[in-house]
Amino acid sequence: MSKQQGFIGNIINKISQGASEKKEEIDRELPFVVMLFALMATSGVSLYDSWKRLRRITLLPRFKDEAEEIVRQVEVLGKDPLSAMYEMAEQTGSKAYRDFLGGFISSIKSGGKISDYMQSKLRVIFELRNKEMTRSTEKIATLVEGYSVMLIVILCVYILYVLLSSTAAMELMAGISFPNSPIFAYLLTFLLMPMITVLFMLIAHNMQRSTLLNLKAVYKKTLICIGAAAGILIAFMLVPSLTEMGDSIGMPLVLTICLTIAVVPGAIEYFRIARVNYNAEESLPSFLRDITESQKTGISPEKSIIHATKRRDYGPFSQFLGLVRSQIEWGVSLKDIFENFKQKISSWQVLINFMMMVETIEVGGGPVRSLEILSEYSEKEFESQVNKRALLKPYVILAFVWSVLIALTTTIVTMTMYILTEFSTPTLYASMSSEIAGQIGVFSLGIIFQCWISGFFIGKISEGNFAAGLKYCALLAITAYVSLVLSQSFLVGIFGVSPPV
Protein backbone atom coordinates (compact mmCIF):
# COMPACT_ATOMS: atom_id res chain seq x y z
CA MET A 1 0.00 0.00 0.00
CA SER A 2 2.82 2.39 0.91
CA LYS A 3 4.55 1.63 -2.40
CA GLN A 4 1.32 2.40 -4.24
CA GLN A 5 0.94 5.66 -2.35
CA GLY A 6 4.54 6.55 -3.13
CA PHE A 7 4.04 5.80 -6.83
CA ILE A 8 0.81 7.79 -6.97
CA GLY A 9 2.46 10.61 -5.02
CA ASN A 10 5.29 10.77 -7.57
CA ILE A 11 2.77 10.95 -10.42
CA ILE A 12 0.88 13.75 -8.67
CA ASN A 13 4.11 15.65 -8.03
CA LYS A 14 5.12 15.37 -11.69
CA ILE A 15 1.69 16.53 -12.84
CA SER A 16 1.73 19.50 -10.46
CA GLN A 17 5.29 20.36 -11.48
CA GLY A 18 4.30 20.23 -15.15
CA ALA A 19 1.25 22.42 -14.47
CA SER A 20 3.45 24.93 -12.65
CA GLU A 21 5.93 25.06 -15.55
CA LYS A 22 3.05 25.49 -18.02
CA LYS A 23 1.66 28.37 -15.96
CA GLU A 24 5.06 30.10 -15.89
CA GLU A 25 5.45 29.73 -19.64
CA ILE A 26 1.94 31.11 -20.24
CA ASP A 27 2.59 34.11 -17.98
CA ARG A 28 5.89 34.74 -19.76
CA GLU A 29 4.37 34.70 -23.25
CA LEU A 30 1.01 36.32 -22.44
CA PRO A 31 2.05 40.02 -22.77
CA PHE A 32 3.29 39.44 -26.31
CA VAL A 33 0.25 37.38 -27.27
CA VAL A 34 -2.05 40.15 -26.03
CA MET A 35 0.04 42.64 -27.99
CA LEU A 36 -0.38 40.53 -31.12
CA PHE A 37 -4.14 40.30 -30.54
CA ALA A 38 -4.32 44.06 -29.97
CA LEU A 39 -2.47 44.69 -33.24
CA MET A 40 -4.77 42.29 -35.08
CA ALA A 41 -7.91 43.83 -33.51
CA THR A 42 -6.77 47.33 -34.48
CA SER A 43 -6.30 46.05 -38.03
CA GLY A 44 -9.84 44.63 -38.04
CA VAL A 45 -9.00 40.93 -37.53
CA SER A 46 -11.27 38.90 -35.24
CA LEU A 47 -9.83 37.15 -32.21
CA TYR A 48 -10.57 33.69 -33.63
CA ASP A 49 -8.69 34.53 -36.83
CA SER A 50 -5.86 35.79 -34.61
CA TRP A 51 -5.82 32.39 -32.87
CA LYS A 52 -5.55 30.71 -36.26
CA ARG A 53 -2.60 32.90 -37.21
CA LEU A 54 -0.99 32.19 -33.84
CA ARG A 55 -0.67 28.50 -34.77
CA ARG A 56 2.17 29.40 -37.16
CA ILE A 57 4.22 31.34 -34.61
CA THR A 58 6.97 29.12 -33.19
CA LEU A 59 8.39 31.92 -31.05
CA LEU A 60 5.41 31.48 -28.70
CA PRO A 61 5.40 27.68 -28.28
CA ARG A 62 3.01 27.49 -25.32
CA PHE A 63 0.35 29.67 -26.97
CA LYS A 64 0.92 27.88 -30.26
CA ASP A 65 -0.35 24.75 -28.48
CA GLU A 66 -3.23 26.74 -26.97
CA ALA A 67 -4.18 28.01 -30.43
CA GLU A 68 -4.07 24.48 -31.85
CA GLU A 69 -6.46 23.32 -29.11
CA ILE A 70 -8.94 26.17 -29.62
CA VAL A 71 -9.00 25.69 -33.40
CA ARG A 72 -9.43 21.93 -32.90
CA GLN A 73 -12.42 22.46 -30.62
CA VAL A 74 -14.05 24.86 -33.08
CA GLU A 75 -13.38 23.12 -36.38
CA VAL A 76 -13.35 19.47 -35.27
CA LEU A 77 -15.72 19.37 -32.31
CA GLY A 78 -18.04 22.07 -33.69
CA LYS A 79 -17.97 24.43 -30.70
CA ASP A 80 -18.31 28.17 -31.13
CA PRO A 81 -15.12 30.19 -30.43
CA LEU A 82 -16.47 31.84 -27.24
CA SER A 83 -17.31 28.45 -25.70
CA ALA A 84 -13.88 27.10 -26.61
CA MET A 85 -12.19 30.12 -25.02
CA TYR A 86 -14.40 29.85 -21.94
CA GLU A 87 -13.32 26.23 -21.45
CA MET A 88 -9.67 27.24 -21.84
CA ALA A 89 -10.17 29.93 -19.20
CA GLU A 90 -11.66 27.34 -16.81
CA GLN A 91 -8.80 24.89 -17.30
CA THR A 92 -5.75 27.18 -17.17
CA GLY A 93 -3.74 27.66 -14.00
CA SER A 94 -2.67 31.18 -14.99
CA LYS A 95 -4.78 33.88 -13.35
CA ALA A 96 -3.67 36.54 -15.86
CA TYR A 97 -4.61 34.33 -18.82
CA ARG A 98 -7.97 33.46 -17.24
CA ASP A 99 -8.73 37.15 -16.60
CA PHE A 100 -7.82 38.02 -20.19
CA LEU A 101 -10.12 35.41 -21.72
CA GLY A 102 -12.91 36.12 -19.23
CA GLY A 103 -12.72 39.85 -19.92
CA PHE A 104 -12.81 39.28 -23.65
CA ILE A 105 -15.89 37.02 -23.43
CA SER A 106 -17.62 39.54 -21.21
CA SER A 107 -16.75 42.39 -23.58
CA ILE A 108 -18.15 40.47 -26.56
CA LYS A 109 -21.41 39.65 -24.78
CA SER A 110 -21.89 43.24 -23.65
CA GLY A 111 -21.26 44.60 -27.15
CA GLY A 112 -18.01 46.40 -26.31
CA LYS A 113 -15.36 47.40 -28.80
CA ILE A 114 -12.74 44.65 -29.00
CA SER A 115 -9.81 46.87 -30.02
CA ASP A 116 -10.37 49.17 -27.02
CA TYR A 117 -10.53 46.18 -24.67
CA MET A 118 -7.31 44.72 -26.14
CA GLN A 119 -5.39 47.98 -25.80
CA SER A 120 -6.63 48.48 -22.24
CA LYS A 121 -5.67 44.91 -21.30
CA LEU A 122 -2.32 45.28 -23.03
CA ARG A 123 -1.49 48.33 -20.94
CA VAL A 124 -2.44 46.56 -17.70
CA ILE A 125 -0.49 43.40 -18.52
CA PHE A 126 2.68 45.30 -19.39
CA GLU A 127 2.43 47.28 -16.16
CA LEU A 128 2.15 43.99 -14.27
CA ARG A 129 5.09 42.64 -16.28
CA ASN A 130 7.26 45.60 -15.29
CA LYS A 131 6.38 45.07 -11.63
CA GLU A 132 7.15 41.37 -11.97
CA MET A 133 10.56 42.19 -13.46
CA THR A 134 11.28 44.44 -10.47
CA ARG A 135 10.31 41.64 -8.07
CA SER A 136 12.43 39.21 -10.07
CA THR A 137 15.43 41.50 -9.70
CA GLU A 138 14.89 41.62 -5.94
CA LYS A 139 14.70 37.81 -5.81
CA ILE A 140 17.95 37.54 -7.74
CA ALA A 141 19.57 40.02 -5.34
CA THR A 142 18.46 37.84 -2.42
CA LEU A 143 19.86 34.77 -4.17
CA VAL A 144 23.24 36.44 -4.65
CA GLU A 145 23.32 37.49 -1.00
CA GLY A 146 22.53 33.90 0.01
CA TYR A 147 25.34 32.67 -2.22
CA SER A 148 27.74 35.13 -0.57
CA VAL A 149 26.77 33.82 2.87
CA MET A 150 27.31 30.22 1.76
CA LEU A 151 30.77 31.07 0.44
CA ILE A 152 31.67 32.65 3.77
CA VAL A 153 30.39 29.63 5.70
CA ILE A 154 32.33 27.18 3.53
CA LEU A 155 35.42 29.34 3.79
CA CYS A 156 35.19 29.32 7.59
CA VAL A 157 34.69 25.55 7.62
CA TYR A 158 37.76 24.99 5.49
CA ILE A 159 39.94 27.35 7.51
CA LEU A 160 38.84 25.55 10.67
CA TYR A 161 39.66 22.22 9.05
CA VAL A 162 43.12 23.41 8.05
CA LEU A 163 43.91 24.68 11.52
CA LEU A 164 42.59 21.64 13.37
CA SER A 165 44.02 19.04 11.05
CA SER A 166 47.50 20.63 11.15
CA THR A 167 47.93 20.91 14.92
CA ALA A 168 49.04 18.06 17.17
CA ALA A 169 47.01 19.53 20.01
CA MET A 170 43.95 17.68 18.70
CA GLU A 171 45.58 14.39 19.68
CA LEU A 172 45.62 15.51 23.31
CA MET A 173 41.84 15.83 23.45
CA ALA A 174 40.39 12.58 24.70
CA GLY A 175 37.64 11.00 22.69
CA ILE A 176 37.90 13.41 19.74
CA SER A 177 38.99 12.31 16.32
CA PHE A 178 39.27 14.61 13.33
CA PRO A 179 39.53 13.43 9.73
CA ASN A 180 43.06 14.25 8.63
CA SER A 181 43.06 12.48 5.27
CA PRO A 182 44.01 14.47 2.14
CA ILE A 183 40.97 12.87 0.48
CA PHE A 184 38.69 14.81 2.83
CA ALA A 185 40.40 18.06 1.86
CA TYR A 186 39.96 17.30 -1.84
CA LEU A 187 36.31 16.35 -1.38
CA LEU A 188 35.64 19.54 0.56
CA THR A 189 37.49 21.73 -1.92
CA PHE A 190 36.62 20.22 -5.29
CA LEU A 191 33.25 18.61 -4.60
CA LEU A 192 31.32 20.33 -1.80
CA MET A 193 32.05 23.94 -2.78
CA PRO A 194 31.36 23.44 -6.53
CA MET A 195 28.18 21.45 -5.75
CA ILE A 196 26.78 24.34 -3.74
CA THR A 197 27.58 26.71 -6.61
CA VAL A 198 25.85 24.37 -9.07
CA LEU A 199 22.80 24.29 -6.78
CA PHE A 200 22.60 28.09 -6.81
CA MET A 201 23.08 28.05 -10.59
CA LEU A 202 20.05 25.76 -10.96
CA ILE A 203 17.96 28.08 -8.78
CA ALA A 204 19.10 31.08 -10.85
CA HIS A 205 18.21 29.18 -14.04
CA ASN A 206 14.57 29.08 -12.97
CA MET A 207 14.55 32.76 -11.99
CA GLN A 208 16.39 34.44 -14.86
CA ARG A 209 15.76 33.93 -18.58
CA SER A 210 17.94 35.07 -21.45
CA THR A 211 16.67 36.95 -24.48
CA LEU A 212 19.23 35.12 -26.66
CA LEU A 213 18.34 31.88 -28.47
CA ASN A 214 20.45 29.24 -30.19
CA LEU A 215 23.64 29.39 -28.11
CA LYS A 216 24.41 25.71 -28.73
CA ALA A 217 27.46 26.55 -30.85
CA VAL A 218 28.99 28.47 -27.94
CA TYR A 219 28.35 25.66 -25.46
CA LYS A 220 29.65 23.03 -27.88
CA LYS A 221 32.88 24.92 -28.46
CA THR A 222 33.28 25.47 -24.70
CA LEU A 223 32.78 21.77 -23.89
CA ILE A 224 35.42 20.78 -26.43
CA CYS A 225 37.88 23.30 -24.98
CA ILE A 226 37.12 22.21 -21.41
CA GLY A 227 37.81 18.60 -22.41
CA ALA A 228 41.13 19.62 -23.98
CA ALA A 229 42.10 21.68 -20.92
CA ALA A 230 41.18 18.79 -18.60
CA GLY A 231 43.42 16.49 -20.67
CA ILE A 232 46.33 18.92 -20.34
CA LEU A 233 45.79 19.20 -16.59
CA ILE A 234 45.69 15.40 -16.19
CA ALA A 235 48.90 15.14 -18.20
CA PHE A 236 50.60 17.57 -15.81
CA MET A 237 49.58 15.34 -12.91
CA LEU A 238 50.52 11.97 -14.45
CA VAL A 239 53.45 12.52 -16.83
CA PRO A 240 56.67 12.76 -14.75
CA SER A 241 58.39 15.39 -16.90
CA LEU A 242 55.28 17.58 -16.92
CA THR A 243 54.80 17.01 -13.19
CA GLU A 244 58.28 18.35 -12.53
CA MET A 245 57.54 21.36 -14.72
CA GLY A 246 54.27 21.93 -12.84
CA ASP A 247 56.06 21.76 -9.49
CA SER A 248 58.62 24.29 -10.67
CA ILE A 249 56.15 26.88 -11.95
CA GLY A 250 53.40 26.00 -9.45
CA MET A 251 50.24 23.94 -10.03
CA PRO A 252 47.98 26.93 -9.21
CA LEU A 253 49.44 28.73 -12.23
CA VAL A 254 48.99 25.64 -14.41
CA LEU A 255 45.37 25.30 -13.26
CA THR A 256 44.68 29.00 -13.91
CA ILE A 257 46.10 28.77 -17.44
CA CYS A 258 44.10 25.60 -18.23
CA LEU A 259 40.83 27.03 -16.89
CA THR A 260 41.35 30.26 -18.81
CA ILE A 261 42.15 28.46 -22.06
CA ALA A 262 39.02 26.34 -21.56
CA VAL A 263 36.63 29.31 -21.72
CA VAL A 264 38.34 31.94 -23.87
CA PRO A 265 37.23 30.55 -27.30
CA GLY A 266 33.62 30.26 -26.13
CA ALA A 267 33.78 33.73 -24.57
CA ILE A 268 34.98 35.21 -27.87
CA GLU A 269 32.19 33.45 -29.78
CA TYR A 270 29.59 34.64 -27.28
CA PHE A 271 30.92 38.21 -27.44
CA ARG A 272 30.46 38.17 -31.20
CA ILE A 273 26.86 36.93 -30.90
CA ALA A 274 25.92 39.18 -27.97
CA ARG A 275 27.42 42.28 -29.59
CA VAL A 276 25.20 41.92 -32.66
CA ASN A 277 22.03 40.89 -30.85
CA TYR A 278 22.19 43.42 -28.01
CA ASN A 279 22.78 46.11 -30.61
CA ALA A 280 19.73 44.80 -32.47
CA GLU A 281 17.64 44.99 -29.26
CA GLU A 282 18.79 48.58 -28.79
CA SER A 283 18.15 49.59 -32.41
CA LEU A 284 14.84 47.85 -33.09
CA PRO A 285 12.59 50.32 -31.17
CA SER A 286 14.07 53.20 -33.21
CA PHE A 287 13.65 51.16 -36.39
CA LEU A 288 9.97 50.53 -35.64
CA ARG A 289 9.46 54.17 -34.72
CA ASP A 290 10.97 55.24 -38.07
CA ILE A 291 8.59 52.91 -39.92
CA THR A 292 5.62 54.27 -37.96
CA GLU A 293 6.51 57.90 -38.68
CA SER A 294 7.05 57.13 -42.37
CA GLN A 295 3.62 55.45 -42.49
CA LYS A 296 2.04 58.67 -41.26
CA THR A 297 3.11 60.35 -44.49
CA GLY A 298 0.96 57.88 -46.47
CA ILE A 299 3.65 55.80 -48.19
CA SER A 300 3.35 52.01 -48.43
CA PRO A 301 4.64 49.77 -45.60
CA GLU A 302 7.38 48.30 -47.81
CA LYS A 303 8.66 51.76 -48.73
CA SER A 304 8.50 52.73 -45.06
CA ILE A 305 10.76 49.79 -44.20
CA ILE A 306 13.18 50.68 -47.01
CA HIS A 307 13.30 54.26 -45.77
CA ALA A 308 13.95 53.14 -42.17
CA THR A 309 16.77 50.76 -43.16
CA LYS A 310 18.75 53.61 -44.72
CA ARG A 311 19.48 55.11 -41.30
CA ARG A 312 23.24 54.86 -40.57
CA ASP A 313 23.46 54.88 -36.77
CA TYR A 314 22.23 51.34 -36.05
CA GLY A 315 25.73 49.90 -35.66
CA PRO A 316 26.17 46.16 -36.46
CA PHE A 317 22.39 45.85 -36.90
CA SER A 318 22.65 47.94 -40.08
CA GLN A 319 24.10 45.02 -42.07
CA PHE A 320 20.99 42.91 -41.39
CA LEU A 321 18.68 45.81 -42.23
CA GLY A 322 20.61 46.20 -45.49
CA LEU A 323 19.78 42.60 -46.35
CA VAL A 324 16.12 43.26 -45.53
CA ARG A 325 16.10 46.28 -47.83
CA SER A 326 17.72 44.31 -50.67
CA GLN A 327 15.18 41.48 -50.38
CA ILE A 328 12.24 43.92 -50.42
CA GLU A 329 13.64 45.61 -53.52
CA TRP A 330 13.94 42.19 -55.18
CA GLY A 331 10.28 41.46 -54.43
CA VAL A 332 10.71 38.88 -51.65
CA SER A 333 7.64 38.60 -49.39
CA LEU A 334 7.84 39.89 -45.84
CA LYS A 335 7.15 36.41 -44.48
CA ASP A 336 10.16 34.96 -46.34
CA ILE A 337 12.24 37.94 -45.28
CA PHE A 338 11.38 37.20 -41.65
CA GLU A 339 12.40 33.53 -42.06
CA ASN A 340 15.78 34.65 -43.42
CA PHE A 341 16.08 37.25 -40.68
CA LYS A 342 15.43 34.56 -38.07
CA GLN A 343 18.48 32.61 -39.27
CA LYS A 344 20.79 35.53 -38.53
CA ILE A 345 19.42 37.07 -35.31
CA SER A 346 19.29 35.15 -32.01
CA SER A 347 17.49 37.71 -29.84
CA TRP A 348 13.99 36.55 -28.99
CA GLN A 349 13.03 40.14 -28.20
CA VAL A 350 14.00 41.33 -31.68
CA LEU A 351 12.41 38.38 -33.45
CA ILE A 352 9.05 38.65 -31.70
CA ASN A 353 8.75 42.38 -32.45
CA PHE A 354 9.85 41.93 -36.06
CA MET A 355 7.33 39.10 -36.44
CA MET A 356 4.53 41.28 -35.07
CA MET A 357 5.44 44.02 -37.54
CA VAL A 358 5.26 41.53 -40.42
CA GLU A 359 1.93 40.10 -39.22
CA THR A 360 0.46 43.59 -38.82
CA ILE A 361 1.48 44.68 -42.30
CA GLU A 362 0.27 41.44 -43.87
CA VAL A 363 -3.25 41.56 -42.41
CA GLY A 364 -4.03 45.22 -42.89
CA GLY A 365 -1.44 46.98 -44.92
CA GLY A 366 0.16 48.31 -41.74
CA PRO A 367 -2.39 50.76 -40.31
CA VAL A 368 -0.65 53.57 -38.46
CA ARG A 369 -2.41 52.94 -35.14
CA SER A 370 -1.24 49.30 -35.05
CA LEU A 371 2.37 50.23 -35.73
CA GLU A 372 2.12 53.02 -33.16
CA ILE A 373 1.13 50.46 -30.51
CA LEU A 374 3.97 48.15 -31.54
CA SER A 375 6.55 50.96 -31.42
CA GLU A 376 5.34 52.21 -28.05
CA TYR A 377 5.49 48.85 -26.31
CA SER A 378 8.77 47.76 -27.91
CA GLU A 379 10.31 50.95 -26.48
CA LYS A 380 8.85 50.19 -23.05
CA GLU A 381 10.06 46.59 -23.14
CA PHE A 382 13.59 47.63 -24.12
CA GLU A 383 13.66 50.23 -21.35
CA SER A 384 12.59 47.58 -18.81
CA GLN A 385 15.31 45.19 -19.97
CA VAL A 386 17.96 47.92 -19.77
CA ASN A 387 16.88 48.88 -16.25
CA LYS A 388 16.97 45.26 -15.11
CA ARG A 389 20.48 44.71 -16.48
CA ALA A 390 21.66 47.94 -14.89
CA LEU A 391 20.32 46.85 -11.49
CA LEU A 392 22.13 43.51 -11.77
CA LYS A 393 25.49 44.90 -12.92
CA PRO A 394 26.80 45.63 -9.37
CA TYR A 395 26.71 41.91 -8.59
CA VAL A 396 29.39 41.38 -11.23
CA ILE A 397 31.69 43.62 -9.21
CA LEU A 398 30.70 41.72 -6.07
CA ALA A 399 32.01 38.50 -7.64
CA PHE A 400 35.49 39.99 -7.94
CA VAL A 401 35.30 41.14 -4.33
CA TRP A 402 34.49 37.51 -3.36
CA SER A 403 37.53 36.24 -5.24
CA VAL A 404 39.93 38.67 -3.60
CA LEU A 405 38.54 38.22 -0.09
CA ILE A 406 38.48 34.42 -0.24
CA ALA A 407 42.08 34.31 -1.44
CA LEU A 408 43.33 36.92 1.04
CA THR A 409 41.45 35.57 4.05
CA THR A 410 42.48 31.96 3.56
CA THR A 411 46.10 32.80 2.89
CA ILE A 412 46.49 35.23 5.76
CA VAL A 413 44.80 33.00 8.38
CA THR A 414 46.57 29.82 7.32
CA MET A 415 50.02 31.32 6.93
CA THR A 416 49.61 33.19 10.21
CA MET A 417 49.14 29.80 11.85
CA TYR A 418 52.17 28.60 9.93
CA ILE A 419 54.25 31.48 11.27
CA LEU A 420 52.98 31.33 14.85
CA THR A 421 53.88 27.65 15.02
CA GLU A 422 57.51 28.49 14.26
CA PHE A 423 57.69 30.86 17.23
CA SER A 424 55.35 29.24 19.76
CA THR A 425 55.97 25.49 19.39
CA PRO A 426 59.30 24.90 17.65
CA THR A 427 59.09 21.15 18.36
CA LEU A 428 55.93 20.86 16.22
CA TYR A 429 57.13 23.21 13.52
CA ALA A 430 58.60 20.61 11.18
CA SER A 431 55.49 18.40 11.02
CA MET A 432 52.98 21.22 11.12
CA SER A 433 54.71 23.36 8.52
CA SER A 434 54.66 20.59 5.94
CA GLU A 435 51.01 19.84 6.78
CA ILE A 436 49.93 23.48 6.50
CA ALA A 437 51.93 24.01 3.32
CA GLY A 438 50.21 21.01 1.75
CA GLN A 439 46.79 22.17 2.91
CA ILE A 440 47.17 25.71 1.60
CA GLY A 441 48.53 24.30 -1.66
CA VAL A 442 45.37 22.21 -2.10
CA PHE A 443 43.10 25.03 -1.09
CA SER A 444 44.85 27.44 -3.47
CA LEU A 445 43.78 25.14 -6.29
CA GLY A 446 40.28 24.94 -4.81
CA ILE A 447 39.94 28.73 -4.55
CA ILE A 448 40.91 29.20 -8.19
CA PHE A 449 38.49 26.48 -9.34
CA GLN A 450 35.68 27.83 -7.13
CA CYS A 451 36.10 31.37 -8.48
CA TRP A 452 36.18 29.98 -12.02
CA ILE A 453 32.92 28.09 -11.64
CA SER A 454 31.32 31.12 -9.93
CA GLY A 455 31.68 32.92 -13.26
CA PHE A 456 28.85 30.81 -14.71
CA PHE A 457 26.60 31.83 -11.81
CA ILE A 458 27.41 35.51 -12.38
CA GLY A 459 26.73 35.20 -16.10
CA LYS A 460 23.34 33.62 -15.41
CA ILE A 461 22.17 36.31 -13.00
CA SER A 462 23.52 39.23 -15.04
CA GLU A 463 22.44 38.29 -18.58
CA GLY A 464 20.25 35.23 -18.12
CA ASN A 465 22.51 32.59 -19.72
CA PHE A 466 25.59 30.62 -18.70
CA ALA A 467 27.49 31.57 -21.87
CA ALA A 468 27.64 35.15 -20.60
CA GLY A 469 29.68 33.86 -17.65
CA LEU A 470 32.54 32.52 -19.77
CA LYS A 471 34.44 35.80 -19.69
CA TYR A 472 33.83 36.11 -15.95
CA CYS A 473 35.17 32.58 -15.42
CA ALA A 474 38.53 33.52 -16.91
CA LEU A 475 38.72 36.91 -15.16
CA LEU A 476 37.73 35.51 -11.75
CA ALA A 477 40.25 32.66 -11.98
CA ILE A 478 43.03 35.12 -12.85
CA THR A 479 41.90 37.46 -10.06
CA ALA A 480 42.00 34.62 -7.53
CA TYR A 481 45.48 33.52 -8.60
CA VAL A 482 46.90 37.04 -8.51
CA SER A 483 45.35 37.60 -5.06
CA LEU A 484 46.91 34.38 -3.76
CA VAL A 485 50.34 35.26 -5.10
CA LEU A 486 50.26 38.84 -3.79
CA SER A 487 48.97 37.88 -0.33
CA GLN A 488 51.53 35.13 0.11
CA SER A 489 54.33 37.29 -1.24
CA PHE A 490 53.31 40.03 1.22
CA LEU A 491 53.63 37.65 4.17
CA VAL A 492 56.90 36.29 2.79
CA GLY A 493 58.29 39.81 2.69
CA ILE A 494 57.38 40.38 6.32
CA PHE A 495 58.26 37.04 7.93
CA GLY A 496 60.57 35.40 5.44
CA VAL A 497 58.71 32.11 5.02
CA SER A 498 58.29 30.13 1.81
CA PRO A 499 54.91 30.48 0.12
CA PRO A 500 53.17 27.33 -1.16
CA VAL A 501 52.20 29.09 -4.41
pLDDT in tens, 3-23: 444 443 443 344 334 445 567
Give the confidence band of 176 by pLDDT, cuts at 50, 70, 90.
very low
Structure confidence at residue 287 as a pLDDT band (50, 70, 90): confident
Determine the pLDDT at residue 143.
Answer: 87
The mean per-residue pLDDT over the stretch 317-340 comes to 86
Note the pLDDT of residue 164: 65
| pTM tops 0.85, yes or no | no
Distance CA 371, CA 321 (A): 18
Among 241-250, 379-388, 416-425, the range scoring the smallest mean pLDDT is 416-425
Please report the pLDDT score of residue 271 as a whole number: 92
Distances (CA, A) of 180 to 190, 404, 419, 439: 16, 27, 21, 10
Nearest CA-CA partner of 236 in 218, 221, 214, 253: 253
| Contact present, 274 and 222 (Cβ < 8 Å) | no
Burial classification of residue 397, based on how many CB atoms lie within 10 Å of its CB (0-12 exposed, 13-18 middle, 19 or more buried): exposed
Q: Percent of the chain at pLDDT above 90?
A: 7
Q: What integer pLDDT is reported at residue 483 of this predicted model?
A: 87
Integer CA distances (angstroms), 193 to 153, 190, 198, 443, 447, in order: 10, 6, 9, 11, 9
Looking at per-residue confidence, does 282 or 114 come out higher? Answer: 282
Asked whether the beta carbons of 85 and 105 are under 8 A apart, the reply is yes
The arithmetic mean of pLDDT across residues 469-496, rounded, is 80
When pLDDT is cut at 50, 70 and 90, the band that residue 263 belongs to is very high
pLDDT category of residue 180 using cuts at 50, 70 and 90: low
If one compares 157 and 338, the residue with the highest pLDDT of the two is 338
pLDDT of residue 419: 66
pLDDT at 496: 52
Domain 286-389, classified CATH 1.20.81, yes or no: yes
Give yes or no for a contact between 479 and 224, defined as CB atoms under 8 angstroms apart: no
List the beta strands (DSSP E) in 19-150.
none
Would you state the pLDDT for residue 268? 92
CB 368 within 8 A of CB 49: no
Neighbours of 148 (CB within 10 A): 16
- CB under 8 Å to 227, separation ≥6 — which residues? none
Task: Examine the pLDDT at 81 and tell me if it is beyond 70.
Answer: yes
Which of residues 434 and 200 earns the better pLDDT score?
Answer: 200
pLDDT, position 260: 92
| 24-49 mean pLDDT | 82
Residues whose CB falls within 8 Å of the CB of residue 168, separated by 6 or more in sequence, listed in order: 428, 431, 432
Q: Which residues contact 121 (CB under 8 A, 6 or more apart)?
A: 34, 38, 100, 103, 104
Q: Supply the pLDDT for residue 13.
A: 40
State the pLDDT at residue 22.
Answer: 64
Q: What is the mean pLDDT of residues 45-65?
A: 85
pLDDT of 499 above 50: no
Average pLDDT, rounded, for the chain: 78
